[in-house]
A and B are shown apart, each in its own frame.
Chain A
Amino acid sequence: MKVLWPIAYITLKEGIRNRAIYGISLFAFLLLGLNMLIANLAPRDVGKVAVDIALSTISFSGLLIVLFVAINLMAKDLDKKTIHMVLSKPISRSEYIWGKFFGIALILVLTVIFISIFAALSLYILKAGYESFFLRFSWPLVFLAIFFIVMSLILLSALSLLFASFSSTSFITLVLTILTYLVGRSLSDIKALIETASIAGATVSPITAKVVEVAYYIFPNFAFFDIKMNAAHGLSVPIATVFWTVLYCLIYGTLALTAASLVFRRKEFP
């Protein structure tokens, strides 16, 4: 643990120095300002549209940070060969991976908190203006949804570390991470589509069904972390769901990071 902190701290410092974070935050800030205008377009469900925009902004800017800041933090060490300097210190390679991971997680948590403050502010202002359209609005659910978003982002960055551990350039890591996100986010819907198709009488090739089935267990399912709709409509989330989702994130994340350190231990640097 003692060794992890300096790496995490350096990663955090390096990440915050990255200009992209400011660009993404500015983008989020503008979107949340736009929230004031767009939510007004809904005749009744102003609260729902406002929460939708606020949470989607957080999730989208978080995704951008994973893709354009987090990935670079590990890949840059490899690309610029600064990793030799780090590894010459009394640090094992798996400690390096875990340290990087905690640093990236810290960056994600801090930026999401920063954006969430503006999101909450935009919701607060809209709520003050349209009290009667926010009847089912609940702050705890909004914060729970933000917590779920953070979990999914941390899981995605754990996977990006796994990809970085074996790919030769940061570009490949980026592509693999994006693909994993796209697959992982749409798996549930595709599985549902295939199931309803067979009910409706359309034939789905058994190979396709099997591939989706297998993929369903291999890829991370990011749909589990999407409770934006519950937050938008004030639909409560059972404690059991929260428990299983946290457990899922922990197990899958640890799995990815352990695999990453295993691969990384055997990696030969050019």
Chain B
Amino acid sequence: MIRALTYALLAFLAITHIAVVGKLSQHENVFPMNEDQDELFVLPSAILKIASFDYKGIVSDYLFIKGIVYIGGSVQKGSSQKFNINESQWCAFYNMMQISTDLDPYFQDPYYIANAFLTWDAGMTREANSLLEKGSRYRNWDWSLPFFSGFNYFFFLNENDKASEWLMEASRRPGASPTIASLASKIAFKASKTENSISFLEEMIKQTEDESMKKMFAGRVEAYKAILDLEKAVDAYQRKFGKKPSTLERLLKNKIILEVPKEPYGGKFYIDSGGNVRTTSENQLMPFQK
């Protein structure tokens, strides 16, 4: 009798326990929190290095995974802005990757991922480059980090000399594609930005494994190729008439081009007052600017 009662009590408690846990989990987030950074707060690396004892590698892995999970969790579906993250949160993410690589400076992923997010999405190219430069110093066998750094200098910061320097560094490392060296010299001689962008982006497509990034680069290559064709047409017009055309229609009228290429982002190509070929969806084509 007592035994049966004990079992009954046990079953009753188990069921109440589940109910209480369910109720409590709804209350978990009622406490006011500083939503901005609490989740991403990390101890300074000098302290963490001491506190992680024999497990620096694992702590570094943990910080990295925590960082990407945070970024991944803030993806907004169907919004124009890809991430629901404000500037201070991006800074906290950068800090986290910085500390993760302080603990293990040879860890490739934080450099790689921070570069992808901080440049295209956060507009923190300088920060991304400082990470990449740290990474290239330690990972002196890896050509991809100086290559990305060179790309950032060229594409986002318009500093061709630095870009060429980093590309030369990349080309000297084992396994680097021979096109990187020629890219470095082309940039150093200030060849057309459009042409360089195409060769650069094509190299990036080769290096990227992520399919959505590949697609993004491919779309840009398409747009730049169209712009390059139009630029060539503008040059041909200038040779023929001695001045740049004011509109694309003039190119059509004079049979220099047969049709205006389709703009892959749904905008329109046009010629600005300086005679440069541009597109109405430039903010799609060009990186995010702060």
Contact = CB atoms under 8 A, between A and B. Distances in A.
B57 A44 contact: no
Interface in A208-264: 222, 226, 228-229, 232-233, 235
Given A42-B109, A186-B50, A193-B50, A56 B64 contact: no
B56 interface: yes
B216 interface: no
Contact of A56 (B51, B57, B108): B57
Interface stretch (A45-53, A64-72, A74-82, A169-177): A45-53
B132 to A, nearest CB: 14
B106 A190 contact: no
A41 interface: yes
Nearest to B144: A44
29 contacts: A38-B65, A43-B68, A43-B109, A43-B112, A44-B108, A45-B107, A45-B108, A48-B106, A48-B107, A48-B109, A51-B57, A52-B58, A52-B60, A53-B61, A56-B54, A56-B58, A136-B141, A182-B53, A185-B53, A186-B50, A186-B51, A186-B53, A193-B49, A196-B46, A228-B56, A229-B57, A232-B57, A232-B106, A235-B106
A189 interface: yes
Contacts of A49: 61
Given A42-B65, A228-B57, 15 more contacts: A43-B109, A44-B108, A48-B61, A52-B61, A60-B54, A60-B55, A136-B141, A185-B53, A186-B50, A186-B51, A196-B46, A228-B54, A228-B56, A229-B57, A233-B106
A193 B46 contact: yes
Interface residues of B, number: 23
A189 B56 CA distance: 11
A49 to B, nearest CB: 5
Contacts of A165: none
Contacts of A48: 57, 61, 104, 106-109
Given A189-B49, A193-B50, A44 B55 contact: no
Contacts of B108: 44-45, 48
B236 interface: no
Given A41-B65, A49-B61, A229-B56, A189 B109 contact: no
Q: Which 5 A-B pairs have the closest CB atoms?
A: A52-B57, A233-B106, A189-B50, A185-B53, A45-B108
A59 interface: yes
A229 B50 contact: no
Contacts of B68: 41, 43
Looking at chain B's contact residues, the main secondary structure is: helix
Interface of A: 38, 41-45, 48-49, 51-53, 55-56, 59-60, 63, 136, 182, 185-186, 189-190, 193, 196, 222, 226, 228-229, 232-233, 235
B113 interface: yes
A60 B49 CA distance: 17
B176 to A, nearest CB: 15
B112 A44 contact: yes
A229 B106 contact: yes
A189 B61 CA distance: 19
A228 B57 CA distance: 8
Nearest to A132: B209
B58 A53 contact: yes
A63 B54 CA distance: 10
A229 B58 CA distance: 10
B55 A56 contact: yes
Contacts of A44: 108-109, 112
Nearest to A181: B53
Contact of A229 (B53, B104, B141): B104
Nearest to B69: A41
Contacts of A235: 106
A228 B112 CA distance: 22
A232 to B, nearest CB: 6
A185 B49 CA distance: 11
Nearest to B62: A38
Contacts of A41: 65, 68
Contacts of A189: 49-50
A49 B46 CA distance: 22
A193 to B, nearest CB: 5
Nearest to B112: A44
A48 B61 CA distance: 9
Contacts of A185: 53-54
A110 B108 CA distance: 34
A59 B54 CA distance: 8
A186 to B, nearest CB: 5
Contacts of A233: 106
